[in-house]
Amino acid sequence: GENVEQHPSTLSVQEGDSAVIKCTYSDSASNYFPWYKQELGKGPQLIIDIRSNVGEKKDQRIAVTLNKTAKHFSLHITETQPEDSAVYFCAATGGAVLSFGAGTTVTVRA
Amino acid sequence: DTAVSQTPKYLVTQMGNDKSIKCEQNLGHDTMYWYKQDSKKFLKIMFSYNNKELIINETVPNRFSPKSPDKAHLNLHINSLELGDSAVYFCASSQGSAVNTEAFFGQGTRLTVV
């Protein structure tokens, strides 16, 4: 099955700085790569996704890049704000199952 | 106007008991899921149902039995609860049967087995 690795496990940034989270996957057939944000006491919520026919996608302060050759994808958050503090999960499709990374706890310092 | 709602939010019970968690979605989605999130926040799929039919069972013990009375509901019944079952259980739903669509998650049920 698909194996998704996510780094770092924790990330502390100063408000206004950028945050980058990186993931690698094992199944070259994977074609869908979503990112979920989980706030304390809530369920994960999709913030952005990218498909294998696209190399980069941007939505306001959030961007995701995909390198299919190297089998890695990254989440970039610019101009971080306190409300960006949360746990972020990358995921990849592996057959009929969406496999998640282990999560990155992001803390934005005021 | 909650999209995916699950009850209860918290559940504390003794080892050996049987308990159920209920889930309902009002999004008109065809597919519903149960995920388990352990103490290290690792999210792993347990079951997936499409139009009331089981399509994924990820090597979950037989003590876990999902039931889907209709497309909008997917309940999870757990028999003979064990300490290792303590986790947060999330229900989710998505449109269609393909896994490459957005999944909408409920707020989770924190199960503590003592």
Residue B105: its chain A contacts at CB < 8 A? 36, 43-45
pLDDT recorded at residue B59 = 80
Residue B102 near chain A (CB below 8 Å): yes
Inter-chain touch B107–A97, beta carbons under 8 Å: no
Residue B40 near chain A (CB below 8 Å): yes
B47, B58 Cβ separation under 8 angstroms: yes
Residue A102: its chain B contacts at CB < 8 A? 40-42
Q: How far apart are alpha carbons B54 and B34 in whole angstroms?
A: 11
Residue B42: its chain A contacts at CB < 8 A? 100, 102-103
pLDDT recorded at residue A86 = 98
What mean pLDDT is reported for chain A? 95
Write out chain B's pLDDT in tens, 114 residues: 669 999 999 999 999 999 999 999 999 999 999 999 999 999 999 999 988 888 888 888 999 999 999 999 999 999 999 999 999 999 999 987 777 889 999 999 999 999
Residue A54 near chain B (CB below 8 Å): no
Interface test with A, best of B4, B21, B100, B107 (most A CBs within 10 A): B100
Query: What SS3 state is found at A94?
Result: strand
List, as one string, the DSSP characters of B22-74: EEEE-S--SEEEEEEE-TT--EEEEEEEETTEEEEE-S--TTEEEEEEETTEE
- Closest-CA distance, B92 to chain A, in angstroms, reads 9
Structure confidence at residue A94 as a pLDDT band (50, 70, 90): low
pLDDT recorded at residue A30 = 92
Q: How far apart are alpha carbons B52 and A38 in whole angstroms?
A: 28
End-to-end CA distance of chain A: give it in Å, rounded. Answer: 41
Q: How far apart are alpha carbons B24 and B5 in whole angstroms?
A: 5
- Closest-CA distance, B78 to chain A, in angstroms, reads 21
Averaged pLDDT, A18-32: 95
pLDDT recorded at residue B26 = 96
Scanning the structure block, which residue is given the tokens 């069972």? B57
Question: What CA–CA distances, in Å, run from B43 to A19, A27, B18, B34, B58?
Answer: 22, 18, 23, 10, 13
Averaged pLDDT, A54-82: 96
Averaged pLDDT, A96-104: 92
The A residues from 59 to 98 touching B (CB cutoff 8 Å) are 87, 89, 93, 96-98
Q: Give the number of residues written for chain B.
A: 114
Q: How far apart are alpha carbons B30 and B27 in whole angstroms?
A: 9
Structure tokens at A102: 């282990």
Residues 6 or more apart whose CB falls under 8 angstroms from that of B75 comprise: B20, B21, B22, B23, B66, B67, B68, B69
Query: What SS3 state is found at A69?
Result: coil
pLDDT recorded at residue B1 = 66
